[in-house]
A and B are shown apart, each in its own frame.
Chain A
Amino acid sequence: MTESLKVNGITKIYAADVFKRKLVILDDLSIEFPLKKCTGLFGHNGAGKTTLIRLIFGISRPNRGNITIADSDISALNRRKIGYMPEVDKTASTLTPREIITSHCMLFALDDIENRTKNILEKVGLLASWNKKSSSLSKGMGRRLAFAQATVHEPDFLILDEPFSGLDPLGRADMHNWITEQKAKQTTVILCSHELRESYSLCDEFNILNKGKLVYSTLDSGKHFKLPAPLFAITIADVSEEEFQNLQAEANLPNPLLLRHHSDDNHLWAQFDSYESAYQWLRFLTQKDLRVKMFGDDGQDNQQVEMLKFFKLGEQSA
Chain B
Amino acid sequence: MKQIYIIAKETFTLLRRDKIFLPIIAFGCCMMFVSSMAQDTSADELVKVMLDVGVTGFFVTGILICMLWGIKSICESRKDGSVELQLVSPISRYQWLLGKYFGLSFSLLVIGAILYIAFQVMMLLDFKQFISFHQFLIFAYMYLGWLVFAAICTFFATFCNTPTAIFSSFLVWVLGMLSGILEETLPQRSIGTWMEKAITSLATFWDFQRFNLIDYTYYEASFPHSADLLSFAAYGVALITILLLGASFIFGRRDLV
- Where the two chains meet, the residues of A that have a C-beta atom closer than 8 Å to any C-beta of B are 14, 54, 57-61, 78-80, 82-84, 86, 88, 90-92, 94-95, 99, 103-104, 106-109, 149
The size class of the interface chain B forms with chain A is 20 to 34
Q: Enumerate chain A residues within 8 angstroms of B81, measured Cβ to Cβ.
A: 86, 88, 90
- Taking the closest CB of chain B, its distance from the CB of A104, in whole angstroms, is 7
Are the CB atoms of B257 and A59 closer together than 8 Å?
Answer: yes
Chain A residues lying within 8 Å of B6, measured Cβ to Cβ, are 103, 106-107
0/1 string, B7-50, CB within 8 A of A gives 1:
00110011001100000000000000000000000000000000
Q: How far is the CA of A69 from the CA of B6 in the complex (A)?
A: 30
Residues of B within 8 A of A61 (CB): 255
Report which of A14, A82, A99 forms a contact with B88, defined as CB distance below 8 A: A82
Q: List B contacts of A107 (CB < 8 A).
A: 3, 6, 86, 89-91
Whether B14 lies near A54 (C-beta < 8 A) is no
* B90 and A149 contact, CB distance less than 8 A: no
**Which label, helix, strand, loop or mixed, suits the secondary structure of the B interface?**
helix
Give every chain B residue within 8 A of A79 (Cβ-Cβ): 88-91
Q: How far is the CA of A80 from the CA of B89 in the complex (A)?
A: 6
Residue of A nearest to B88 (CB): A84
Select B13's contact among A57, A82, A95, beta carbons within 8 Å: A95
- Cα separation A60 to B257 with both chains bound (whole Å): 7
Contact indicator B257/A99 (Cβ below 8 Å) = no
Query: Are B88 and A60 touching (Cβ within 8 A)?
Result: no
Give chain A nearest CB distance to B58 CB in angstroms: 27
Complex Cα distance, B84 from A88, in Å, reads 12
Contact (Cβ within 8 A) A60 B256: yes
- When distances are taken between beta carbons in the complex, the residues of chain A under 8 Å from B9 are 103
Q: A86-B81, A88-B81 are in contact. Are A59 and B87 (CB under 8 A)?
A: yes
- Distance in angstroms between the alpha carbons of A106 and B9 in the assembled complex: 11
11 pairs across A/B with beta carbons < 8 Å? A54-B84, A58-B87, A59-B87, A84-B88, A86-B85, A90-B80, A90-B81, A92-B14, A95-B10, A103-B10, A104-B89
